[in-house]
Structure 1
Amino acid sequence: MGTISLGSRSETIRSTDTVDLRVPADPAYLAMVRTATAGLATRLDLTLDDIEDLRIAVDEACSLLLQGRAHPGRTLDTGFEVGPPGSGLLSILITGPLGQLPDGQGYAWSVLRALAGEVVTGVGDNGAWIKLTYVGRGDQ
């Protein structure tokens, strides 16, 4: 949130939008998360290549959190923070059913680090999580 002052009048404006998506913890639903990622990235005026990179990175993160299998009765929770149009900022927090993440080596981790910008991981009460922060070129 931010404040804009116009003389004696001021207004609070939203500097980011937040979108939450919850799907069953099943690889069959990853297309929904990838599509949501692409749709939100489009709002930031990213190039088609940047949008595809984000889709791939999100797919790899989700696959790591599911370890390639369904977890009946559990969910994959994704929270998106979308910066203002033209900012190029998209932050994606994905929480899955695993109690811990696989080690930080291998192809999926390499893809995440190469395509997503900043990658932070951890484990919370609701399971393991991966946070991807992408800062594109925006309106530069």
Structure 2
Amino acid sequence: MTEETAVSTADAIGVRDAVTVNMPADSAYLSVLRTATAGLAARLDFTLDEIEDLRIGVDEACAMLLSQALPGTELTTEFELTPDGMRISVSVLTADGRLPARDTFAWTVLSALAGEVDAEVGPDDRVSIVLYKRRGTLEPA
């Protein structure tokens, strides 16, 4: 069975790949998260440029969230691998559940790097930034 067939079969029965990384909400641990992002993106055959965009995008999302994370809490990152891309949700517990401003340069950069970007507030004032990056399509030669 080829990899293409395996992916198609997995789609047909609704199977998905998901990875969750929990770590202290401290910028000292972000290198681990950048490495995980690159490894998972490479598994999906993203180009080197797309992988670097995702690494920087995850780093930017974390920087936005860590500034309001409650001390001593965890940063949770959920990766969902799909046939055409990757969904990444980064979240932290905050004191006030304030969403990141969408009219900032940082949000503009994040949107350019990741493709689709959203933010949401969940239970206990957990703020999440969700990125969805699709693999580039190959141009005919």
**Runs of 4+ in structure 1 displaced over 6 angstroms?**
none
Superposed CA RMSD: 2.0
* 1:50 equivalenced with 2:46 (yes/no): no
Q: Is the 8 A contact 2:69 2:92 kept in 1?
A: no
How far apart are residue 72 of structure 1 and its match?
Answer: 2.9
Query: How many aligned positions are there?
Result: 127
Q: Which has the higher helix share?
A: 2
Partner residue in 2 for 1:9: none
Aligned residues: percent identity?
48
Whichever structure has more strand as a proportion of its residues is 1
Q: If the length of structure 1 is used for normalisation, what is the TM-score?
A: 0.81
Conserved 8 A contact 1:46-1:138: no
Aligned residues of 1:65 and 1:101 also touching (Cα < 8 A): no
Give the letter for the 1:45 counterpart.
D
Match of 1:124 in 2: 122
Amino acid aligned to 2:72: G
State the 1:45 CA deviation: 0.9
2:93 to 94, 97, 106: 97
Please tell me whether the aligned partners of residues 100 and 119 of structure 2 are also in contact (alpha carbons under 8 angstroms).
no
The alpha-carbon deviation at position 34 of structure 1 amounts to: 1.0
Q: Is the 8 A contact 2:91 2:128 kept in 1?
A: yes
Q: Distance in 1 between matches of 2:111 and 2:69?
A: 25
**Distance 1:72-1:36 versus aligned 2 partners, 3 A rule:** same
Q: 1:138 to 1:42 in 2, by over 3 A?
A: farther
Q: Name structure 2 gaps, 5 residues minimum.
A: 1-9
Tell me, yes or no, if the aligned pair for 1:53 and 1:115 is still in contact at 8 Å. Answer: yes
- CA distance in 2 between counterparts of 1:20 and 1:139 reads 30
Q: What is the TM-score of this pair, normalised by structure 2? A: 0.80
1:25-64 aligned at under 5 Å gives the runs 25-64=25-64
Q: Does 1:78 align with 2:77?
A: yes
Once residues 118 and 106 of structure 2 are traced to their aligned partners in structure 1, the CA distance between those partners, rounded to angstroms, is 14
SS in 2 for 1:96: strand
From 99, 107, 113, the counterpart of 1:115: 113
